[in-house]
Each structure stands twice: as structure tokens, then as C-alpha cells.
């Protein structure tokens, strides 16, 4: 009886994992369309940004990994460096997040890009975002070209980390495919409800 129960539980778990994997976008496939309001109530429709490279940055101001990257201006420097060619959008899928909290974080940190409000987690789940930060780079044709970590330095110990997002954007602007195109993201788990 225990063996049968264990088999049923394991089968259900594996079915859920496979179903989730099948639903999340793959690098090289069209990025899922969505529309979300930012911290000011302005709606951002992904299709509106066709013709530009788009970076989606899953964030949570309470996460120590996010805090470290914002203290180092990792995201802001890239957003400013590529602002002529790239639309940078933070996405907060934390179930308890509010627009007021996003505005306060933005003011405290001094960055200029929007923080999309995804408290129900629908877009985070659509993309398979698992950590904060978790990064997605979409090319001007709307194809997902990079998914994963911001860099190769999860512990924050490297003097010169390899910034995967910088590499992905640079490759796309040069007409090439990012290499690597997928890495394992690191950080805090996305706080879905």
C-alpha cells in the first residue's frame, strides 16, 4: 500500500514538472505576450516593444541577491548603457507587493525603468521565473534569446563577473545569437502566492 501511494505521488509530481516545463517558453521560441501595469498604473504591452530588444528582470526588493545587485548598480548600469536600443522592465511577482512599495524602492535606488506589477504571478509563471533576479532577453522580433542568471557570480565574490545579460544584449546588437543562451538563475525564490 505504501509503495502504491508513493508511486502515485511521484507520478503526480513528475506530471506537474513535465507540464510546467512544456508551458514555459524555450530560448529560440516566441516570447509569451503579456500586458501589465507598472508602479504608476501605466500598462506595458510586450507587443508594443517589437523592433527593440527587451530585458525582463524578475525582482524583489526584499531579496538579498537583488539588494546586492542594486547596491552595485548591476541592472541600472546596463539599462543606461543600452537605453537607446533596449527596453528594460523589472517585474515583481511577489504576491504581497504593492505599487507603493515598488515606487518607494525605485525612489530609494534611483533607477528609471518601470517595475511591472504581477502580484498574482501570472506572468512570472508564464515565463517560468523561479528566482530574483531571473533574467530574460527578447530580440526585436519578439523571440526569447536568453534566459537565466544576470551573471556567473552567485556569491558576489568575483572582481570581474561574466555578465550574461550584457553578453546577450551585445550579441543581439551585433547580429549574433547569445552564447550562452541559457544559464541557471540564482537568487531568492519568487514569492508566488
Q: What tens digit of pLDDT does each residue of 17-27 get?
A: 433 444 678 99
Alpha helices in the chain (DSSP H): 2-23, 64-71, 74-81, 99-109, 122-127, 164-173
* Beta carbons within 10 angstroms of residue 33's beta carbon: 10
Any idea where the domains of the chain sit in the sequence? 2-189
Q: What is the pLDDT of residue 23?
A: 63
Average of per-residue pLDDT values in the chain: 91
Our measurement of the distance from residue 6's CA atom to the centroid of its chain's CA atoms, rounded to an integer in Å, reads 35
Please tell me the distance from the alpha carbon of residue 21 to that of residue 18, in angstroms, as a whole number.
Answer: 5
| Cα distance between the two ends of the chain | 33
Q: What is the pLDDT of residue 152?
A: 98
Q: What is the pLDDT of residue 78?
A: 97
Q: What is the pLDDT of residue 24?
A: 74
Nearest in space to 55 (alpha carbons), one of 146, 167, 136, 175: 136
Q: Is the pLDDT of residue 164 over 70?
A: yes
pLDDT bracket for residue 177 (50, 70, 90): very high
Q: What is the pLDDT of residues 119-157, one digit of tens each?
A: 999 999 999 999 999 999 999 999 999 999 999 999 999
Radius of gyration of the chain, Cα coordinates, nearest whole angstrom: 17
Q: What is the pLDDT of residues 1-47, one digit of tens each?
A: 565 544 444 444 434 443 344 467 899 999 999 999 999 999 999 99
**How much is the pTM?**
0.88
Q: What is the pLDDT of residue 1?
A: 55
Sign of the alpha-carbon torsion through 174, 158, 154, 119:
negative
CATH of 2-189 given 3.90.226.10, 3.50.50.60, 3.40.30.10, 1.10.579.10: 3.40.30.10
Q: Is the pLDDT of residue 186 over 70?
A: yes
Amino acid at each position: 500500500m505504501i509503495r502504491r501511494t508513493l508511486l502515485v505521488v511521484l507520478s503526480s509530481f513528475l506530471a506537474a514538472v513535465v507540464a510546467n516545463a512544456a508551458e514555459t517558453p524555450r530560448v529560440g521560441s516566441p516570447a509569451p505576450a503579456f500586458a501589465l501595469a507598472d508602479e504608476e498604473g501605466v500598462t506595458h504591452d510586450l507587443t508594443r516593444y517589437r523592433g527593440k530588444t527587451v530585458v525582463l528582470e524578475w525582482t524583489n526588493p526584499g531579496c538579498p541577491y537583488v539588494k546586492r545587485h542594486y547596491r552595485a548598480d548591476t541592472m541600472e548600469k546596463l539599462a543606461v548603457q543600452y537605453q537607446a536600443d533596449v527596453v528594460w522592465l523589472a517585474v515583481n511577482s511577489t504576491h504581497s507587493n504593492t505599487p507603493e512599495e515598488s515606487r518607494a524602492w525605485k525612489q530609494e535606488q534611483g533607477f528609471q525603468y518601470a517595475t511591472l506589477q504581477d502580484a498574482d504571478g501570472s506572468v512570472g509563471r508564464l515565463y517560468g521565473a523561479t528566482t530574483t533576479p531571473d533574467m530574460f532577453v527578447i530580440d526585436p522580433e519578439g523571440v526569447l534569446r536568453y534566459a537565466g542568471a544576470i551573471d556567473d557570480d552567485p556569491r558576489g565574490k568575483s572582481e570581474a563577473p561574466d555578465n550574461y545579460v550584457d553578453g546577450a544584449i551585445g550579441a543581439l546588437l551585433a547580429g549574433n545569437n547569445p552564447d550562452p543562451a541559457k544559464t541557471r538563475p540564482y537568487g531568492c525564490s519568487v514569492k508566488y502566492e
